[in-house]
Structures are given as structure tokens and as C-alpha cells.
Amino acid sequence: MTQFHVFLDAHLEIRDAVVEHREDLRFLVQRNNGNVLAHDCPSLLGQGGALGHVGFDRDLVAQRFQLDAASVAAAWSPATRGVLLASPSNPTGTSIAPEEMARIAEVVRGRGGALLVDEIYLGLSFEDRFDHSALALGEDLVVINSFSKTFCMTGWRLGWLVLPPALVAPVERLAQNLYICPPALAQHAALACFTPEALAESEARRAEFRQRRDLVVPGLRAMGLEVPVLPDGAFYAWADCTRHLRAGRETSWAFCFEMMHRAQVALTPGRDFGPAAAERCFRLSFANSRPALELALQRLQQALAS
């Protein structure tokens, strides 16, 4: 299979490729009484007791709200067993450049660790520069993906792992004992995603999301809600509301709460995703129609002007 600038040999695929609870499986197999590093910059994957969060000593924006090889090397400890990344990431919509991902992989390999990359939003990448799978870096990576985002199957809880050959059998055993397999209906729906018609629809959605990004980001910036890094994938804008904080509205949590009541626009405060920039940043999802997004921007502008 060739996609995202990588050719995937059949022997790399888990034989029963469609599995649920992908993240549970990978941790059960690989944790082994150690820590898995994840960045404390916003990431849904950066929450949970199994993770040791990597802080940012350098500029968040310069790192695109992502880990880099220097941060991984600096944070590695004798207890570290691996690194968990999400590219593109929720809530920032930013990706790790292929050359930086390669440097991270070398750092992890040099320390005998495991590199796990969540690519659930890769099918919604907007920029050719970032439209690359980490699988191109070798067979020793664990890559997680899903039908949820690219194929509009959120809630079906259906996805897959691409594993090093040595991990295929342990993961199969875990899957069989934890939940056997996903429902047959969901598996047939997943197969339909690879028809020419479904792939064409997926590409049309990707183009639509890019147009929505190009509507939302300038709109937010025009009203003083800076988006420090242009999203290159997914359907989120990570914005800074510092210019609109004041007495009684000192944090992004308070800002989002007020905008929900005054503008009837739902935003997600930064603290839902981790500690980095949490008090000043929020997430806006543009998984809605352009007319609805235009109305949301108009309502925000009116609320901030009053």
C-alpha cells in the first residue's frame, strides 16, 4: 500500500488489522514498568498516569506546539521506555516536520526505546510538507490510525495499528482476550472507505477543511485572537485570548465560559488539554459548515466589541 509517501509491506500489518482501543493495547504491550514521554503541550494523548510529560524550555511557537528531538533527549531518564507523539495534533492542528520526526526516531532508537506515533488526523493534512507518515522511518515504529476523522466514522471506535513484526502476536493475544473484535457491521463499513467513491469524498472533505481553516484563522486574528501557528491539519485552531483577558476574565476558561453565554459560541479552554499555555489559549473546532463558522465569528466579534 502506498500513501503518505510510504510503501507499506503486507507483513508489517497486523493480520486482524481493524482493532478497537488501540492505545490500551500499545501501552499494555510496551509499558513494562517504565514511563512513556508525551509533551505537556496540548495533546489529548498527553493525559494519563502512564505518561511522563515533557516540559518546554524553549519557545512553544518555534516548536509548533510539538516535541522536537532536543526536548526528547533532555527529558529522557533511566525510567523512560518510549515517546508518544500525535501528528497532526489535537487541539493545535500542527504536525511534526518529517526531518524532525526522523531526528526524534534516532534519539529514541539510540536509547533503546519505543516510538509511538498517533496519525489519526494525517488523512486531513493540508500541506504537502507534513503529509508524510512516520512509517517511512523504519519498521520499528508503532503507528496508530483510525477511520474516525478521515472517513467521518467518529463514534464507531474503529482503527488499526501498524506494528513491528515482534509485537503483532502479543497484540493479537491481547485483542482476543479483551474484546475479540469490532462488530462485523463496522468492519464492512471500514472496507467501504477504500472504494474510489469514498476516497474521492475524503479528499473533497480535506479540501473543505482547508477552506474552513482559511476562513477561521484570519477571522480570529482580525479580532485580536491570535493563532500563533497556522494549523496544517485536522480541524482545529489554537488561539491566544490574552488581549481580551481582564479583571473577572483572567483565564481562557473564564473567556470561553463568557463567550458561551454572551455569543452562544462553544470554545474549549486550554486546561482541557494540558498545562502548557492553558490559561491563555483555547481551541475552536471548524468541523462545521462555513455559514455556521461565519456566524460564530460574527457573534464573537460583537461580544468582544461590547
> Which CATH number do you get for residue 90?
3.40.640.10
Which pTM was predicted? 0.85
pLDDT of residue 80: 86
Q: Domains in the chain: how many in total?
A: 2
Question: Distances from the Cα of 92 to the Cαs of 188, 240, 268, in angstroms?
Answer: 32, 11, 12
CATH number (domain holding residue 219):
3.90.1150.10
**H-state helical runs in 60-164:** 69-75, 98-110
**Domain identity same for 188 and 208:** no
Q: Do 33 and 176 share a domain, yes or no? A: yes
- The answer to whether residues 142 and 258 belong to one domain is no
Domain that includes residue 119, residue range:
2-194
- State residue 33's pLDDT score: 54
Residues in the chain with pLDDT < 50? 10-23, 28, 42-51, 55-58
Distances (CA, A) of 18 to 138, 149, 227, 236: 22, 15, 36, 27
Shared domain for 124 and 97, answered yes or no, is: yes
Residues 268 and 187 in one domain: no
Q: What is the amino acid identity at position 144?
A: I
Instruction: Say whether both 11 and 149 belong to one domain.
Output: yes
Query: Are residue 18 and residue 156 in the same domain, yes or no?
Result: yes
Are 168 and 54 members of one domain?
Answer: yes
Last residue of a domain, one of 194, 216, 250: 194
Q: How many angstroms separate the Cα of 136 from the Cα of each of 111, 171, 265? A: 20, 22, 41
Q: Which domain-ending residue is among 143, 162, 194? A: 194
- Residue 178 and residue 213 share a domain: no
List CB contacts of 238: < 8 A, sequence separation 6 or more. 42, 65, 91, 92, 93, 94, 227, 228, 229, 231, 281, 282, 283
Predicted local distance difference test score (pLDDT) of residue 48 = 38
Structure confidence by residue, pLDDT tens digits, 93-122:
999 999 999 999 999 999 999 999 999 999
Q: According to the model, what pLDDT value does residue 36 have?
A: 62
Give the end of a domain, one of 142, 161, 194.
194
pLDDT of residue 10: 47
